[in-house]
Structure 1
Amino acid sequence: MKFTAENGSFKALVHTAGVSGTVKDLKKIYDIDLVASEILVDAFYDLATENSVAVLLSSMMGHDVAPNAEYYKALMNPQESGSFETVSRFVGGSSDVMYNFAKRGVQLLIQKNANKWGQKRARIVSVSPGVIETPMALKAAEEHPERMEMIKKATPLQRNGKPEDIADVVHFLVSDKARFITGTDILVVGGVMLNIKTNKS
């Protein structure tokens, strides 16, 4: 933060670091995927100026978490004492479900911070990828091959995503062409959520 402040203005933060449910450690998933996201958002807010933008990577799986006042409050305040314990009660010991909850928390952080960032005329958004062929996704495919194949078949575009599919969206969001987009989550999933929701109904 000091280096950035001393070497120019802060235009964009793109936070992509995260771990999946393959880690099998609920606390580590929560801390890396959600707590660290809030720490970074808070730190870089101090550097934000007019037209700055923060882009956080969430996941389409965050949209699989049903609204609930109790754990939504915890997810929106992940650094508060007892937050992790509250969320843990709802995930049934599953690291995959904790991943979903943490990524929903990232989306909620965007909503929580939009007005605050807006006071600086800065923007904050999240991007929720679908199945993107990264090493993390390929590892998940090894552990859940049937599920991954089901998602691919349910995707209207009939393919998994490529890293450049996400990079191009992020590039747009940090540009001035996206100057009126803030406080929202952008799904980049090849349309799969339409069919998944249809199948659930």
Structure 2
Amino acid sequence: MASDRLAGRKAIVTGAGSGIGAAVVQRLKADGAQVFTADVAGAVDFAADLTGDGANADLVARAVAAMGGLDTLVPCAGISAFHPLEGHDDAYFRRVIEVNLIAVFRLVRDAVPHLKAAGNGRIVTIGSTTSSHGDEGLCAYSASKHAVLGFTKSAAAELGPLGVTVNCVQPGAIATPMTAPAFTDMPEFRTFWENKAPLRRLGQPQDIADVIAFLCSDDARFMSGHGVWVDGGAMVRH
């Protein structure tokens, strides 16, 4: 349900072209925030590969110029695919780390002066249930998401004195364009996760976006450094 609890907030959302990122943009705007969107392509405010040198600094500069400031970051851009460890090539592992971790680090680093000036900054990173656990065929993805959670905790410790909260949302099995091939091509995989979750369904991008909106709001003003699982209860049975 829309509200005005984010009125006055000025946010960057990456990975905004589809999936969780698109849902986050919709929810933040519905709650009154200004949102500057980024993705590799599509109808966004800033279309670029954010793994490129200087890309995140450019994104921050353009967002600040467009909105007159910046106090909220939600880096949603990410990639994943199944790759068995045997025969796993270096290039794919490196690409996953660049997109899922290094681009997040650079965005947060480059935004710190503006978040500091705001005095009430919010950062919400996107981890995964694999930030805390592992799974077959997901060595690169799990490594990147473990690192995102660790980065979140350290950033929370460092930025807290500046008035900035930093939390990590850890989605479970969510139906998005990125996960669609797995759930379509491997129906047993979909059934496994539907049955594993006590709520007996896959998550939807809106399920994640609603939690992110809460973490961006003043309602979450005393939460920082946490990984928040949004998984339909699936991991209580891990």
What is the TM-score normalised by the length of structure 1?
0.77
1:49-64 matches, within 5 Å, as 49-64=118-133
1:1-201 matches, within 5 Å, as 1-6=60-65, 7-22=67-82, 25-48=92-115, 49-65=118-134, 96-196=138-238
Higher mean alpha-carbon deviation, 22-31 vs 154-163, is at 22-31
- Does the CA-based 8 Å contact 2:69-2:114 persist in structure 1? yes
Seq. identity, %? 30
Going from structure 1 to structure 2, the CA distance change for 1:45 and 1:144 (only over 3 Å counts) comes to farther
Tell me, in whole angstroms, the C-alpha distance in 2 between the residues paired with 1:61 and 1:111: 16
Tell me, in whole angstroms, the C-alpha distance in 2 between the residues paired with 1:58 and 1:97: 14
- Does the CA-based 8 Å contact 1:60-1:187 persist in structure 2? yes
Aligned residue pair count: 169
Going from structure 1 to structure 2, the CA distance change for 1:95 and 1:153 (only over 3 Å counts) comes to closer
Higher mean alpha-carbon deviation, 139-148 vs 158-167, is at 139-148
Tell me, in whole angstroms, the C-alpha distance in 1 between the residues paired with 2:97 and 2:184: 23
Deviation at 1:153, TM superposition (A): 0.6
- Give the match's secondary structure for 1:131: coil
Deviating 4+ runs (over 6 angstroms): none
Deviation at 1:142, TM superposition (A): 3.5
Query: What stretches of structure 1 of length at least 5 have no aligned partner?
Result: 66-90, 197-201
More helix by share: 1
Per-residue displacement from partner, 1:44-76 (whole Å, max 9, x unpaired)? 1121031110111111111115xxxxxxxxxxx
What is the TM-score normalised by the length of structure 2?
0.66
- Does the CA-based 8 Å contact 2:193-2:201 persist in structure 1? no
Alpha-carbon RMSD: 2.0
Task: Using CA pairs under 8 Å that are at least 6 residues apart, name the structure with larger relative contact order, 1 or 2.
Answer: 1
